[in-house]
Structure 1
């Protein structure tokens, strides 16, 4: 039995690491627990070398969160002396009348206001002032990106130059090392929590730890072990890694008429560059093969391997920043957006528990305030 912690953080994926980092940076005594032997293992939602970030979500609040996150990523780069956020262009493509495409077109007209407000509040890095959009028809898309084939005539492409990828594996490693070496933090891997109360956690072997606060950043396993009554969905997905070919967009989202979404990005792997493509249909390899044959036929033969992953969907896709009736805090249910907002998630959870900043700006995305 151990006690005396200001906070116990359960789950050291991207959100848990960021939360523990914020707590340690602000002088708190932290116990950080992870059931796996390391953070970001294969098969977990935090695995992978890179993640897409973008400021062209079909959702105004998510774009505002991204502008704020950019400045926090820049702070992390400065602290650790490493490049973490790479800026490239993103191609958003789909039928012109698709709801998401129409929203992004509308977003083009209001982005200037968002950026100016964010800069005034010092919540966005100044480089976003250079944000630009460009709209292409289907023929122009295929001319600009020759690897893309067979686009319907009603497709348009919206190129956003304020997007790119995050070195996800690198920041996981940096934060893990930071916490392991921090004098006020105790990190325990290979440690599975099976019960949590307002001030304690119980491990699978029966050991107990006590602290002033407990926050569960346990992702898709939260419903199974802790928040059992909430109707979240554990979504099993996968993505595929290819040797790249000429003519690929740096990053892309394709919005299909049936509501499906495919995404892709370059992904650095050591000294080499690979290309990642995934979708939100689930683990259906045949759908990926059909898509590649139609849209990226020259890439199909370059497949290296597939990678399983999970994320947690919630009704309305609201983020689960909340406290239950017993006093246990939760931070999960980010529906595949954990990494791009990673530093902001940690800041929101820290401030929600310890009350040092007003969180009302982000309340539309909460189920309930921490």
Structure 2
């Protein structure tokens, strides 16, 4: 009898431990089931509902503006990616076609601004973004500047410092193979002081341009070289899209805003003032970026009657006198990227010597990947 009682006492803890195990695995199984069901519900929403599809395309658009464009195919498929890029190209072309009829009226004594009052900078904030808006009161004080030495681009801060400019922003795009380009080969046209410094289009081709004529009126949209010369072009680069023309916005909503990214935008008010908008991005906790609809609305709110996109992403910089950064670019390179062009503000632009660094070079002579 005593031995049977002892056996029961000795087996009791073992039995208790055994009874605990089924409960533990039931909890694990329940958690796994919750994860699976939640994942299936999320994927169903993400891929098969209107709101989920909207988010997928917003994420895809953001990726399209980066060096990781190929990743967008995992959100919208390879054909979806190709169609999206083609749709934007068509949309941007159409946005540049309407005839611009805006006129400017420069205030009396516009050219007499003291250096400290010629420009002003204010901060702008919105959902997910932070940036800066620089106003240049006299548009005739702006000049396009190019790199000093052949073979690679130049940081905007360096351009500002060596030329004695009062301020500057990045301008046009450039050939960027594997997203490691040297910033020396522009895309399309580069015109400064009415002279063509670089022509990657051909003699009779047209392109979307952003720039100023000799009277300080901003030009943006699709033009041929012949048309630009007839209009008295002074400074210009190729870029797109034009987002405001004749005082009206051309981008309907955020869905057509080409994703969230760092941005640089140029616009003009009726009094001739030039607005340069720089939005920082790709920095969690500070500023993710803005889409083109955000930028359009900021420009409209500040009185722009015409506005157009300039090169953005990690190229977006705003520089003050002396070459110091005002914004926080997303570029891995300190002080921003090496670029082919910048719009700089001068007290006397005509006194600035800007040699043509591409003189004697054909586009085919330039290796945009070689440092």
Range of TM-score over shorter length: under 0.3
Instruction: Select the structure that is richer in strand.
Output: 1
| TM-score of the two chains, using structure 1 as the length reference | 0.21
Q: From the CA coordinates, give the structure whose radius of gyration is larger.
A: 2
**What's the TM-score once normalised by structure 2's chain length?**
0.21
